[in-house]
Chains A and B, each alone.
Chain A
Amino acid sequence: MSKFLRYIFILLGISLLMLVVLDALYTYVYTHPRHVRNKVIWMKEIPSSEKFDYAAFGSSRTFYNLDPLQIEKETGLKGVNMGYPGANTFEIMLMVKMFLQKFEVKRIFIQVDDQYNKSHYDRTAIIPFMPFIHDDIIYENIKKVETNAVYLKYIPFYRYMKYDSKLGFRELMMTSFNEVNQFEVNYGYAPTMKKNMKESNSPYKFKLKDVKNKHIVELLRVCKEEQVEVMFYTSPIYNPEGNLELLNTHLPNYKDFSNSILAHDMFNDPYHLNTSGTKMFTNLFITTYFEN
């Protein structure tokens, strides 16, 4: 039996060592990329001396649908697109908090749509925050929505395993080999949606519940404290069928653009504009918010 216990302890010891090494390796690669791979690390890399007139936050529907370079060219206003795929209101709130901690900005835009009712974070979109879980602002906020937050912080590698360690592995590889990310040179916008969607009659259906979102409430509180103006908007959707008007009752300065673009060839898919659609929507965005 003692020989077996020794075997088990060696196996457990090696396993623990592997977890520690993997955790250190993944964290190092995430935090020291050759080229930034996500918006969280990108935000950390931008020097705090950088000045912005506005910042836009949201999901892939901000990431792919709003071009700050075009806005700068036409209005002279310098802004940044902090949207990224999968982000729910929790991740958006956390991004806003981290952004305001580092930069001064007078106005921010928050894209909301059918993710408004989601109160937990997205299991993929949270991954970029995981290397920084020891940062107070990230840990304290994650703790509010995740009962296992303490394990994420203290069990080596658990933070990467829980939210799909394969993604971490892919990041590891991509960080070593990949070229410059397009959003790095476009103020956060990724001009990669180039497909023209086929015409379709089937609507994009959703139904919002009439409840307050605690992360939006928190976001409004922080912005009020920092005296930052917040504008909420919904990005275009192809053939939407829902109750977005409900957001008017919960969000100040809300503007619904969901029906603003109708042509199918402006979309990559029902939820994302292609590059032509983005150009059109960014123009509409400029007219609505920056021309007065």
Chain B
Amino acid sequence: MIFNSLDFALFLPLVFVLYWFVFNKSLQRQNILVVIASYVFYGWWDWRFLSLIIFSTLVDFFIGKQLGKTLSSSKRKLLLWGSIVVNIGFLGFFKYYNFFVDNFIDAFALFGQQISPNSLNIILPVGISFYTFQTLSYTIDVYRRRLEPTKDIVAFAAFVSFFPQLVAGPIERATHLLPQFKHKRVFNYTKAVSGIQLIVWGLFKKVVIADNCAQFANDIFENYNQYSTATLVLGAVYFAFQIYGDFSGYSDIAIGTSRLLGFDLMKNFATPYFSRDIAEFWRRWHISLSTWFRDYLYIPLGGSRGGTFMVIRNVFVIFLVSGFWHGANWTFIVWGFLNALYFLPLILLKRNRVHTNTIAENTWSPSFREIIQMGTTFALTLVAWIFFRANSVTEAFQYIKRLLLFELDMERLTIERFSVEILPLIALLVVIEWFSRNKEQPLQNVKYPMLFCCSLILLIFMFGSYSQLYEFIYFQF
């Protein structure tokens, strides 16, 4: 089930009513409802893959319990590795099997050896990368004794499968979300209204910005060899806003939906395109994944301790793994590598933690220097997005090569079936985000929230893209 569908528009009110009016007598009942609703939500896509989630849940629940009982450090380590092998094993099989087989064949072909191991027709279970990381966070935190293992399997199943963030995050930590399933939720008007506002804002970003940009970006990236520099730049810009609108829109709807049920999820995006350097960008983009890698990979590898070489090595490891996490394609690995390269000068000059505050914090407009910094950072991310979006690394290089021809025809702006309405809408998004960069969400503390909300709904009706139902990009990861 996807958020921008009629199915979800009926599903959510039904769950809301059952949750607050029928199952509200006890916490256990509410949690059971969350588990059932989450399984229905996931099974709507393909019920067969529910077995994977249930299996993962059971494995980590029992390993967590054993970790709580066991004092021997070798046994504890063994249990932890058991969880890692099972979870990463599933992820590896479903997501990376064919990638490794294909590359294995290619590598042998380089030496003139023809081998033909079988590629399998594997369906990638939606959201597997997200819930795998979420359950792993539980086992690792229990292993590190940062979290008491839970004895409540219903609460744990609800934590693993919580439908608002099940298939595309935010990737929650057990330390943050699991305790919320153990305390009675009390309906809070302010929280619920902010949830509705976030859902509307997320829908605006998804159906108005992302899905409209997708039409242009898809066309330009698929036919890049016919277009000139100006159109190819536009293609990259459209994709940048498509992926931002799509993913941050999903996160907003997820957070908003959770608030309706009395939960708090972590913020996943904080106006990343206003970043002044790439380090700041990564503190503001897909925060739940960046911090996951920081806590469970970067710091165990030594983090920023040790010498400059160690830090550089760790940064490259993080970004390469992050690229690989996004998909079984060299394009994602190059994308990760490129981001690590961008980091390099910041690390060497020890300037990777310069911009920890919000841009133009006490004024309404950025300084000239900040505009240049933002523009440079955005341009760097655009180059990286080309690799992220292209079908292959070769295509990405060809795209960039054509882009460097410096032809200025704007042919994509004048084609009959495509229109320029999207550019003012992107500008509107940028303006709204700029003025809400210090807020938790754009509709917070505005003078007429109902008017603002209704205006967004009007834009969703008038400019939303409904003719093709685009799935959220991050579902494939």
Contact = CB atoms under 8 A, between A and B. Distances in A.
A and B pair up: yes
Interface string B7-50: 00000000000001000000000000000000000000000000
A169 B193 CA distance: 30
Contact of A11 (B196, B212, B416, B461): B196
Contact of B419 (A14, A19, A85, A166): A166
A289 interface: no
A18 B419 contact: no
A14 B453 CA distance: 11
Interface in B292-350: none
A14 B212 CA distance: 25
A165 B20 contact: no
Contacts, number: 62
Contacts of A19: 461
A170 interface: yes
Interface in B413-454: 416-417, 419, 421, 450, 453-454
Nearest to A60: B416
Nearest to B6: A151
B467 A163 contact: yes
B466 A161 contact: yes
B463 A18 contact: no
A4 B193 contact: yes
A1 interface: yes
A170 B419 contact: yes
Contacts of A4: 187, 189, 192-193
Contacts of A7: 189, 193, 196
Contacts of B71: none
Contacts of B193: 4, 7
A10 B458 CA distance: 15
Interface in A1-17: 1, 3-4, 7-8, 10-11, 14-15
B172 to A, nearest CB: 25
B59 interface: no
B421 A169 contact: yes
Contacts of A73: none
A14 B451 CA distance: 10
A95 to B, nearest CB: 20
Q: How large is the interface on A (under 10, 10 to 19, 20 to 34, 35 or more residues)?
A: 20 to 34
A14 B454 contact: yes
A91 to B, nearest CB: 16
Contacts of B212: 166
Tell me which of B421, B461, B463 has the highest count of chain A C-beta atoms within 10 A of its own C-beta.
Answer: B461
Contact of A22 (B196, B416, B462): B462
Nearest to B260: A4
A162 B462 contact: no
A164 interface: yes
Contacts of B453: 11
Contact of B454 (A11, A124, A163, A170): A11
B380 interface: no
A11 B416 CA distance: 36
7 contacts: A11-B453, A14-B457, A18-B461, A22-B458, A164-B466, A166-B212, A166-B463
Interface of B: 20, 187, 189, 192-193, 196, 212, 416-417, 419, 421, 450, 453-454, 457-458, 461-467
The 6 closest A-B pairs by CB, nearest first: A164-B467, A123-B467, A4-B192, A161-B466, A4-B189, A14-B454
